[in-house]
Structure 1
Amino acid sequence: MYKTATIVIKNTNPLFAVIDDYAFLCKNLKNSALYVYRQFFFKENKTLNKYKLIKEFTQDKQADYVAIPRKVSQQIIFQVAQEFQSFWGLVKLGVKDKSKPRPNIPRYLDKQKGRANIIFTKQAISKKDLPKGVLTLSPFDKTRPISIHLGKLNQIIDYNNIQEVKIVKVANGYDVKICYKTQDTKTDTSVNPTRVLSIDFGVNNLMTVGNNVNLTPLIIKGQAQKSFNQYFNKKLAKLKSRLDTAKDFLKPSIRKKLDRLYQKRKHKVNDFLHKASHYLINHAVENHIDTIVIGYNKGWKQEIEIGKVNNQKFVNIPFATLLNMITYKAKEKGIQVIITNENHTSKCSFLDDEPIQKQSTYKGKRIKRGLFKSSNGRL
């Protein structure tokens, strides 16, 4: 299993200026690669694979290419080739299905403000520094190294399991994403579940957890997230209102504030969901649970009509992200996860042993949320 750990480098960090300069150089190379690819296609009416694209740069020792460590520059060119490969794939889909929107050809990054992702393969990472808890990446300039202290991550990341490091520009800094491999615990899915947790996702109660082993039902509240969402929505409304009426020279600074607000919400949501899923898996391990059953539908409870008052407390909760977190954390502990479709569950009558599927007529009736009436009138 592959996992990603993220270290945030804010614009107040001394490393920010170094990384920002390197991302600028990577932008130059990416734009050059985009130009070479596009011109070759327009002239020859042919595409370039990643190896031919690299050859275009190595033959002439192109300035942007040699300004960057070779292992990093190769990854940037591979990335450009991958973007065009995806583009041509979407073009082919559009030819077959005219209803598909026309894809946009990969675009150049802004000459001044643009920054490209920096990708370091395993070979571009210092092996001798990792045991000391320091992630040292191949420098573009030896006088300006990138050395990042791992902190607690040092306990789980070593040179043998690390795969790559990607540095990505975000609103008020850079995210250093460390991709590493973990040891899987095998789950025997052929064994019938004996100790089971069932989970229902919600808004007020993020997770309502039942079981078949006479444990006290568990409810993980969603109030903390709702409270932050209320703050987020009010700040968002104010900034958007200011943006609509601001003079042109003020708009860039307001947009930066909007970006920082979205970034803050992203970190808050991820932190909340990680803690909630971690608590759930610990609960499962402590009670020797072998199976977790989750009711989930794509897009479910993300597009509900919530009204004016609730809208201040609620922004779509990424249940798909929560589901993925629970799944991989359970897998690490040897717990199998079964995902069951919840279509028609609110209409089919459990009290009448009605199969959970679409029916021409339903035996019972849902009176309101939390109240169901069976065919014989039982509530």
Structure 2
Amino acid sequence: MARGTRIFYASDIHGSERCFLKFLGAAKFYGARVLILGGDITGKVVVPLIHRGTGYEANFLGRMHRVESAEEIEALEKAIRFNGFYPVRLEPDEYEAISADELRQNELFRELVLASLRRWMELAEERLKGLGVRCFVNPGNDDESFVDEVLGESDYVENMDGGVARIDEEHEMVVVGYSNQTPFDSPREMPEEEAVHGDTQLFCFHCWQCFFRYYPQVRRNAKETGVIGLARPARKKKSSSDAPMQTLTAKAKVVDLSDQDALLLGLLGFVATKLWNVANHHRRSVWDETGKIPDFAQQCRELKANRWYKLLPSQSSQEILSELDDSYRSWFSLRKNADQKANPPGFRKKETLSTVTFKQKAFEMLPGHRIRLRLPKTYARREMVLEYRLPPDTALGKVQQVKLSLDPTSGDWYVHIAHRVPIEYCETGRIMSLDLGIANAVAGLVTDGFSFLVPGGELLAIDRYFQKEKAKCTKSTSNKCTRLNTKWGRQRTHYLHALTKWLVNLAEDHGVSTILVGELNGIRQDKDWGDAGNQKFHAWPFSKITNLLTYKAALAGIRVIQVSEKNTSTICPHCEKRAKTARVQRGLFLHCGQSFNADLVGAYNIVQRYLRETDQVLPDPSGVVGALARPAVNRFVWRKTTPKGREQGTFKQAA
């Protein structure tokens, strides 16, 4: 070890604030230049202090405590923290409600753990500042994944989980917080096969002078703590009986925005753009030098000290790096599928104000349609409160994250609120099958014998009109072109929402509990339909229709399942044999002396494929086959007929 380097190592403090303070004090007491806290940092038990009368009562370490004065309450909370537990003050009705709700117990536990860790990071800064001591921490297999977001926030504590840290000029440390599988189902476990063959690779340049920190497959049996109260629920694997949740996004306009807040939002959007460009340049530079592109985790470590990274909340900065990583992965996937025209993610224009994401503790939902955003320490203001206006009849569930974006046309700011709501699926056994296309946007079949078509000509007309109008513009950045893009996007979006909503309403009218949609992944690869055909084919929103339909159907209690479409359009519904030449012309399938609508043949075979895979059969196949010949045709009708004036419309059955 380098001369003069002294290391103090500790682990398994399990939430004890007394142990953590002694750990920090070891720097001065022992003259240690490096502090290492090696895993199992957080505690496991919440101790509620229940408000009764003029004081609080708590069952702590097997004994009932009652405290009255502020000094007594603080002393009891301090004792609870020193023992590795998390105190929380609750009203009796709050205690009863949380005790009966496992989800709220988990949420409360998460909040208390993160608050405790943030307090520890502040203590570390207070006690290590100016000492020149390096402090390394890494979560252990008993620590939940959400602790990473806090352990990486401090400038005085380095979270090195899954990385290689230089202890001094001569020595390095490999840090791996995961264990192999144990009987206890701890949060960070990984099968040995996955650890050996996984993507994670740790590189150590001086293996003969390296510390290796890992967790073996040995854990002591948990002992009873003697705490009677609101304990953290035992972890359990997800089961099909758990209540399903649907994530929705509500778009709300920010109102009554002051000039100062508008300037601050603009600064955050500008910083987000700069960080994207800095991270993209960093990836390309490392790629040119080493031939390898750094991943998300590596960029988080290497850009943590960058000034643009520090000007956003840490989770917001990480979200931008994550979006960039996803863009590169998408590009890799396209190249892997032989799309040589695909380009890597580009740089954003410096005048662009990018979307800024706020996660979990970086925001707080307030009464009266207000939201509090927390800002990093680099700003004089540590928070800002915005007021927003939700669309009518919009009720928010459990809010997960919020995003702020600027509408460049109107200059208004919008907050996009991602929230989760519970859903309850119905089970009627009736199925609707959908075959997506272009000439017919949807060909549908219900197992009660009803069939229908939705021609795609209206959406084609929208695309063609605006493409021709845009071609007349001299510049793609002109005001006219921008207005056309906005109008085009609105009409297209309205059509797709109207289509998917109509499909869900139709499914409800027919008592459908499952909607099958043809899976179209990779459908555009290696296809050349000519200039006009490619323009239609590559712009057609197959995936968007599926995504919109999925969330709208879930809210109605209907499942959406994707089924492979391979060869479904060439199998005869009557004899169930493949007939490549049976599709004699557009929309006509002739075989076994019978005629069918060609698109409905695909929808019928999607149903049959799904039923075979799930060991089911059609109750009345002859009635369903008979519906393939004469489907009901439904057309989209706008309220106004001029393309520039189209705003709303609905579907009606053709005469």
Specify the TM-score bucket, using the shorter chain as the normaliser: 0.5 to 0.7
Give the whole-Å Cα distance in 2 for the aligned partners of 1:307 and 1:32.
37
Contact 1:119–1:165, Cα closer than 8 Å, also in 2? yes
**Corresponding residue number in structure 1 for 2:468:** 234
Give the whole-Å Cα distance in 1 for the aligned partners of 2:580 and 2:274.
66
Task: After TM superposition, list the pairs within 5 Å mapping 1:1-379 onto structure 2.
Answer: 1-7=246-252, 19-28=265-274, 49=298, 52-53=301-302, 56=305, 62=307, 64=308, 68=311, 72-79=312-319, 81-82=321-322, 109-110=348-349, 112-128=350-366, 131-138=367-374, 145=384, 147-152=386-391, 155-158=394-397, 161-168=398-405, 172=409, 176-186=415-425, 194-215=429-450, 217-239=451-473, 242-243=474-475, 253-254=477-478, 257-298=480-521, 305=529, 316-351=539-574, 353-356=575-578, 362=579, 365-374=582-591, 378-379=594-595
Give the whole-Å Cα distance in 2 for the aligned partners of 1:277 and 1:146.
36
Q: Cα distance, 1:369 vs. partner?
A: 1.5
Classify the secondary structure of the residue corresponding to 1:331. Answer: helix
Instruction: Say if 1:114 and 1:52 are closer, same or farther in 2 by CA, change over 3 A.
Output: same
RMSD in angstroms over aligned alpha carbons? 5.0
Q: Letter of the 1:208 partner, please give it.
A: A
Give the whole-Å Cα distance in 2 for the aligned partners of 1:108 and 1:76.
19
Structure with more of its chain in helix, by fraction: 1
Classify the secondary structure of the residue corresponding to 1:132. Answer: coil
Give the whole-Å Cα distance in 1 for the aligned partners of 2:338 and 2:264.
46
Q: Letter of the 2:373 partner, please give it.
A: L
Give the whole-Å Cα distance in 2 for the aligned partners of 1:296 and 1:99.
20
Contact 1:207–1:221, Cα closer than 8 Å, also in 2? yes
Bigger shift: residues 294-303 or 195-204 = 294-303
Bigger shift: residues 114-123 or 14-23 = 14-23
Where in structure 2 are there 5+ consecutive unaligned residues? 1-245, 596-655
Instruction: Say if 1:107 and 1:56 are closer, same or farther in 2 by CA, change over 3 A.
Output: farther
Instruction: Say if 1:121 and 1:369 are closer, same or farther in 2 by CA, change over 3 A.
Output: same
Instruction: Say if 1:354 and 1:283 are closer, same or farther in 2 by CA, change over 3 A.
Output: closer
Classify the secondary structure of the residue corresponding to 1:346. Answer: helix
CA deviation vs aligned residue, 1:335-369 (integer Å, no higher than 9, x gap): 23343333333333334x1335xxxxx38532211
Where in structure 1 are there 5+ consecutive unaligned residues? 244-250, 357-361
Give the whole-Å Cα distance in 2 for the aligned partners of 1:274 and 1:89.
29
Instruction: Say if 1:86 and 1:301 are closer, same or farther in 2 by CA, change over 3 A.
Output: closer
Q: Cα distance, 1:183 vs. partner?
A: 1.3
Give the whole-Å Cα distance in 2 for the aligned partners of 1:267 and 1:284.
26
Q: Letter of the 2:438 partner, please give it.
A: V
Contact 1:53–1:77, Cα closer than 8 Å, also in 2? no
Q: Cα distance, 1:179 vs. partner?
A: 1.7
Q: Letter of the 2:389 partner, please give it.
A: L
* Bigger relative contact order (CA 8 A; separation at least 6): 1
Give the whole-Å Cα distance in 2 for the aligned partners of 1:166 and 1:296.
30
Q: Cα distance, 1:185 vs. partner?
A: 2.3
Instruction: Say if 1:88 and 1:306 are closer, same or farther in 2 by CA, change over 3 A.
Output: closer
Classify the secondary structure of the residue corresponding to 1:265. Answer: helix
Aligned pairs, how many? 338
Give the whole-Å Cα distance in 2 for the aligned partners of 1:31 and 1:366.
51
Give the whole-Å Cα distance in 1 for the aligned partners of 2:521 and 2:331.
26
What TM-score, normalized by structure 2, do the two folds share? 0.42
Q: Cα distance, 1:234 vs. partner?
A: 1.8
What TM-score, normalized by structure 1, do the two folds share? 0.66
Q: Cα distance, 1:291 vs. partner?
A: 2.1
Q: Cα distance, 1:297 vs. partner?
A: 2.9
Give the whole-Å Cα distance in 2 for the aligned partners of 1:98 and 1:312.
20
CA deviation vs aligned residue, 1:47-74 (integer Å, no higher than 9, x gap): 67466447535xxxx5x566x4xxx431
Give the whole-Å Cα distance in 1 for the aligned partners of 2:482 and 2:502.
30
Give the whole-Å Cα distance in 2 for the aligned partners of 1:117 and 1:65.
15
Contact 1:229–1:314, Cα closer than 8 Å, also in 2? no
Structure with more of its chain in strand, by fraction: 2
Rg: which structure is higher? 2
Q: Letter of the 1:368 partner, please give it.
A: Q
